[in-house]
Chains A and B, each alone.
Chain A
């Protein structure tokens, strides 16, 4: 098996050309190459695939808890030769915010966020290497990021190993306060494994570590101490881990089921569990594909979160994203194949609707004194073309 590994072949050739002390080192390198070759060689039968050429145009909307965020989004992906694929996307969020935080401590506002991203994918034997960059801009916040991901097929394409790294650089500003400026940095490390179990079942496991440093709060949000509003103070570092397992299986002739579970924990003492199950079904000779899913999320609060502090602490937040709450989501999605010319192109019309309910356990609506809750609706309408 190792014979097809180029590194092992090169090491074997050099063994005759480089005598002496180097031979030991070469032998070790050869052994390592052989071991790696054994790991990679069985993947020789199936080369990695580039993502499909496609174009998507989407309208998206989120409405809930006094917030409306809508906008268009566009994605284009095109391959060059058989080894490269270029992608570019543009995403707009027009936000109208009259959330409970805003109406109880400040004035409602409108703002627009735009995100531009570009990526390059490259196939080399059984590996798919992806580099990407993005820039997100809103009036008081800019975020730049860069990422590198590698997916390597091994064991004859039975297993895919993923490794990835992202780096983010944010600049935080504040409306009406030109003197306020701060930064936040992010590091993300990903590792994952996808395994073919049977001709009908796939399973995967993913681990992601995220570290942040800098300004991680909001200059607008207030904490409460004895009922009085004070500016929130968050720690300037955070590190988190998330571990997710998933399984998806083909059922019958035209349907599939899936389930996933994620456990999350971080240095702010937040623990979270996410469970999702879904079902997909083709209808009318695969003209239609419909999906239904349910998602449940539950988290515990951060160590420096309180609805109303009874003592002044170094770090204090009343950010409800860091409170104890759960959310339930129910979603449906429909895809209609409007036009299909086999081996040339296909145009699909897509619609997705999700209903969410957030129920907080230690965040009260200070206008009523009751635990806060709200419902939200997520809508996506898009046209996708593959060619």
Chain B
């Protein structure tokens, strides 16, 4: 049951995350750890009880339509992602799987 929390703990406590403060930059406050705990805590109680899906499979036709997918085309999404990655300081949580880009 702790598989998710282990991954996230590893992420938050990675050597890079811990070591970052040694080089004159500000270490992160453990927001990530709190969020991970929140995510897992939100999921666990649901494992013990049986919640009936309130949207039945036959009611999901609209949700399955391509119009509901903002990232319909992998190549085009990758192109946009690369353009933002090269020019902006922020990165991640876009849902687009990126490769190495030599963005420096």
User: Whose C-beta in chain A lies nearest to the C-beta of B10?
Assistant: A189
Interface residue from B4, B23, B68, B73 paired with A236 (Cβ < 8 Å):
B23
Q: Which residues of A contact B78 (CB under 8 A)?
A: 73, 89, 91
Interface residue from A58, A130, A136, A299 paired with B100 (Cβ < 8 Å):
A136
User: Whose C-beta in chain B lies nearest to the C-beta of A256?
Assistant: B67
Interface string of A205-217 (1 = CB under 8 A from B): 0111111110111
Indicate if the CB atoms of B32 and A267 lie closer than 8 Å: no
Q: Is residue A120 contacting chain B, with contact meaning CB distance below 8 A?
A: no
Question: Do A56 and B67 contact each other (CB < 8 Å), given the known contacts A237-B23, A243-B35?
Answer: no
Q: Is residue A108 contacting chain B, with contact meaning CB distance below 8 A?
A: no
Interface residue from B19, B24, B46 paired with A39 (Cβ < 8 Å):
B46
Interface residue from A58, A193, A237 paired with B75 (Cβ < 8 Å):
A58
Within 8 A of B (CB), among A152-185: 155-158, 161, 163-166, 168-170, 172, 184
Interface string of B63-104 (1 = CB under 8 A from A): 101111010011110111011101111111111010111101
Q: Which residues of B contact A39 (CB under 8 A)?
A: 43, 46-47
Indicate if the CB atoms of A212 and B102 lie closer than 8 Å: no
Indicate if the CB atoms of A244 and B94 lie closer than 8 Å: yes
**A229 and B89 alpha carbons, distance in the complex (Å):** 22
Question: Do A36 and B93 contact each other (CB < 8 Å), given the known contacts A136-B99, A196-B55?
Answer: no
Indicate if the CB atoms of A170 and B76 lie closer than 8 Å: no
Indicate if the CB atoms of B93 and A239 lie closer than 8 Å: no
Q: Is residue B11 contacting chain A, with contact meaning CB distance below 8 A?
A: yes
Indicate if the CB atoms of A211 and B28 lie closer than 8 Å: no
Interface residue from A161, A199, A207 paired with B36 (Cβ < 8 Å):
A207
Indicate if the CB atoms of B90 and A248 lie closer than 8 Å: no
Indicate if the CB atoms of B59 and A199 lie closer than 8 Å: yes
Q: Which residues of B contact A157 (CB under 8 A)?
A: 53, 57, 60
Chain B CB within 10 Å, residue with most, of A141, A199, A236, A304: A199
Within 8 A of B (CB), among A295-326: 297, 299, 302-304, 314-315, 321-322
Indicate if the CB atoms of B57 and A156 lie closer than 8 Å: yes
Q: Which residues of A contact B52 (CB under 8 A)?
A: 156
Q: Which residues of A contact B59 (CB under 8 A)?
A: 199
Indicate if the CB atoms of A211 and B63 lie closer than 8 Å: no
Q: How far is the CB of B2 from chain A (nearest CB, A)?
A: 9
Question: Do A303 and B83 contact each other (CB < 8 Å), given the known contacts A35-B48, A115-B99, A243-B93?
Answer: no
Question: Do A242 and B1 contact each other (CB < 8 Å), given the known contacts A91-B78, A209-B32?
Answer: no
User: Whose C-beta in chain B lies nearest to the C-beta of A204?
Assistant: B95
Q: Is residue A365 contacting chain B, with contact meaning CB distance below 8 A?
A: no
**A356 and B1 alpha carbons, distance in the complex (Å):** 45
Q: Which residues of B contact A378 (CB under 8 A)?
A: 79-80, 83
Closest 3 A/B residue pairs (Cβ)? A143-B100, A134-B99, A211-B16
**5 A-B pairs (CB sep. < 8 Å):** A136-B100, A190-B92, A272-B89, A321-B86, A358-B87
